[in-house]
A and B are shown apart, each in its own frame.
Chain A
Amino acid sequence: MSTASSGFKLSEWIFSTDHKRIGILYLIGSIAAFAVAGIMALLIRIEQSAPGPTIVSDVYTGGDQYNVWLYFHGAAMILGFLIPGLTGFAANYLLPLMIGAKDVAFPRINALSVWLFWAGIVVALMTFIVPDKPDVMWTGYPPYSVTTAGNTSLYVFTVHLMGFSSILAAVNFLVTIIYMRAPGMGWNQLNMFVWSCFTALIIQLIFVPVLASAVTLLLFDRYLGTHFFDPANGGDVLLYQNLFWFYSHPAVYVIFLPAMGIFYEIFATMAKNPIFNYKAAVYGGMCLLVAISGEVWIHHLYYSGMPDWLRLGQMVTTLLISVPVGLMTISLFGTLYKGAITFNIPMYYGTAALYLLLIGGLTGIPLALTAMSVHLGETSFTHAHFHFIMGIFATFSVFAAVDFWFPKISGRMLNVKQGKIGFWFNFIGVNITFWPLFIIGVEGMPRRYWDYSQFPAHFAGYHKVATIGAFIVAIGMVMTISNWILSAIKGEKATDNPWGSNSLEWTHTATPPGPGNFPKPVTVDANWTPYTYK
């Protein structure tokens, strides 16, 4: 895995300013977060498999245990796994290679970003050590987060560290993309993944400070006695919810955009096709999505007592998201049209992504309708919706990215058989897990419940099926991740460009790329694109 030829030295990794090593550090951290959060998911699912205490001690303290698992699962999956996995690992490793640059614009700031991210992981993991474990969910709504006996400061500091890390990364990569493209490389010749990160990072830069300020006010209310969110003293609980979702809705695009970018790269390479209607996807899709992203947060507050005109106005803006997302989807599907498709592990995930994108995206439409969401919101329907689009579509994109660029990163090929079996476990498992939750969600099963004795007895059957599904996924994940580790050590040696891609990271670098990335400086001409196959 090492990019230097001599043996392994830990300090060479910790103090590295090489974007490729930093990317790998991000990957290791985010997979660690994913693993711990995944174990939490299994605990949650076991608990929900039957009404009444299953693994928690009893009905009075059960909530205290369960809520900590759920807090960690949600916070770690989003802040510790998906965002750093996509805009940390994938962006770091790939952006400079794709634009023909030697490194990022500010390599030392890049190192600082990954240190902050690791510090965030450590603070998040302290959840399991402190006596007053945080239990505020990844949303941290006051007044509960202010009055709970749990440790809200761990939540706030995790958000701060991850937030600073991603603001620095956003500045760094935006400057890199704007100023360090290979001579001759115009904006319309960029990789889709580069565009997807460019747009996602603009969102990061604009909105993360809002989240950071919201949780800072929370910290003040909790520990310094201020009253920003305390109505008894002139504050307002809804202020927090508005600030939180003003960031956190756009944040789902910080995840969604690079996930799409990865699948564009895989489709174009495996189908040996140009991107279908590139400009429509970039400008009408990605850029328009950024423009709309800040005007839809009220769809998370449809039943929070907001003024009616706001609930209706943002119902319309939320529905209009279908325009940019639809254009991106047409372009993604169209890239397969008349292609010459080779099937391998990344393309298995790609094919699944077609289906996951549709299920996840379309189930968002009822939730966008104010009148529908007053029933479906906060139920396991919502929960299944966001797992399809984030917990599965985006998670599969990270897995597909590692599988696709694995030969470049490690210099070795994956074990194909193990990768494909792992894929089937993952794919079948997630369907068994989340379809039952759609169904009982429509019947009213609320989110964040560990007991549901007040509901009809048949809910338990659906929950049991979902729990079995989760264990099937767990087997798939273990197979997938162990495949990376084993193949990195003793996989078959890879050639420089095993997929026959036309993108710079495959055509112009060694495998794995050495320090400085490109043996000779790269220039491209006006006819070059990463997708021009001849």
Chain B
Amino acid sequence: MKRAVSAMVLMGLGLHAAMAGAGEKVAMPDPTASWNHLWYHVLIDLAIIGIIFLTAGLYWVWKYRATRPNQIGEGPKLSKIGAISFAVVPAFLFMADDFYLAAKGWTVWNEYRNVPRNAMEVKVTGSMWSWAFEYDNGVSTTFMPDSKEGEGLVVPVGKPVVLRMTSTDVVHSFFLPDYRVKEDLMPGRVTYLWFQPNKEGETIATCAEYCGNRHSFMWTKVKVVPQAEYDTWVAKQKQGAGA
């Protein structure tokens, strides 16, 4: 249903380029890699526009300095056709760039929102000011930023992870800077995000929506470990909980 509506919006706007982009199949989706790739394209796009305008502006400022007192500018008086073309042509150029970027952004966005079927699900609860994680297998963990005690989020390498998130009090946002993704958590709604942990190691997730006094401290460890290590970790957690 949602896809049907978005497709209609698209066609209504005549964005055929975006449609083509959205339809492309990506072998192993990895939003983080796609983000980095898109960022690179966007930077080039911005640099081109910026350099053209800035060069023109600064060159004119320098070139057209008044050379004698009471000098009058000789700026062009556009004819009707000139005026219309100077509006319509740039407008279409801007729109072309907009649709080019929209198409690229749309494709990446689809990756962000389409959770792979084999994703491992973890429930995340945000509270002022800590994170709690609940795994399908019954394991639950948390993390204390002050003492750095607690396991935080532990996931096996190579397997997509989807987080289903809600908050017990105010709005928070689960932000994984290294995975280029965030999504808000709020009471009364469940939101989600997913990421593809392709590299072992430790990183952080930190709160990105203002939530009061200890907002800056609301972070947690995120550990990506080999599958075998993950399995022993799960076993140990279950034992710990049983004991």
Chain A residues with CB under 8 A of B241: none
Q: Which A369-410 residues have C-beta < 8 A from chain B?
A: 369-372, 374-375, 377-379
Chain A residues with CB under 8 A of B180: 374-375
User: Does A339 contact B105, Cβ atoms closer than 8 Å?
Assistant: no
With a 10 A CB-CB cut-off, give which of B53, B67, B145, B206 has the most chain A CB atoms.
B53
User: Does B60 contact A446, Cβ atoms closer than 8 Å?
Assistant: no
Contact with A along B202-237 (1 / 0, CB 8 A): 001011111111111101000000000000000000
Nearest residue in B to A354 (C-beta to C-beta)?
B57
In the assembled complex, the Cα of A337 lies from the Cα of B169 at a distance in Å of: 57
Distance in Å from the Cβ of B71 to the closest Cβ of chain A? 4
Contact with A along B37-57 (1 / 0, CB 8 A): 011001001100110011011
Q: Tell me which of A238, A313, A377 contacts B9 (CB under 8 A).
A: A313
In the assembled complex, the Cα of A334 lies from the Cα of B73 at a distance in Å of: 12
Q: Tell me which of A271, A303, A312 contacts B75 (CB under 8 A).
A: A271
User: Does B5 contact A378, Cβ atoms closer than 8 Å?
Assistant: no
In the assembled complex, the Cα of A268 lies from the Cα of B188 at a distance in Å of: 55
Residue A108 lies at the interface, judged by CB distance under 8 Å to chain B: no
Quick check: which of B82-90, B117-125, B132-140 contacts chain A, the rest being far away? B82-90
Residue B186 lies at the interface, judged by CB distance under 8 Å to chain A: yes
Quick check: which of A15-23, A113-121, A204-212, A277-285 contacts chain B, the rest being far away? A277-285
Q: Tell me which of B2, B73, B211 contacts A272 (CB under 8 A).
A: B73
User: Does A143 contact B170, Cβ atoms closer than 8 Å?
Assistant: yes
User: Does B50 contact A362, Cβ atoms closer than 8 Å?
Assistant: yes
Q: Which A288-322 residues have C-beta < 8 A from chain B?
A: 303-305, 307-309, 311-313, 315-316, 319-320, 322
Binding site for A on B (CB under 8 A): 2, 5-6, 9-10, 13, 15, 31, 34-35, 38-39, 42, 45-46, 49-50, 53-54, 56-58, 60-61, 64-67, 70-78, 83, 86-87, 90-91, 94-95, 97-99, 101-102, 104-106, 108-109, 111-113, 145-146, 169-171, 173, 175, 177-178, 180-184, 186-189, 191, 193, 204, 206-217, 219
Given A277-B86, A374-B112, A444-B178, 11 more pairs with CB closer than 8 A: A141-B170, A141-B171, A274-B73, A280-B86, A303-B173, A308-B2, A323-B91, A358-B50, A358-B54, A374-B180, A374-B181
Binding site for B on A (CB under 8 A): 59-61, 63-64, 67, 135, 137, 139, 141-144, 147-148, 231-232, 235-238, 271-274, 276-277, 279-280, 284, 303-305, 307-309, 311-313, 315-316, 319-320, 322-323, 326-327, 329-330, 333-343, 351, 354-355, 358-359, 362-363, 365-366, 369-372, 374-375, 377-379, 442-444, 446-452, 454-455, 500, 533-534
For this complex, 14 residue pairs linking A to B, each with C-beta atoms less than 8 Å apart, are A144-B210, A231-B187, A231-B189, A315-B102, A315-B105, A316-B9, A316-B98, A333-B60, A339-B74, A341-B61, A358-B53, A446-B208, A446-B216, A454-B219
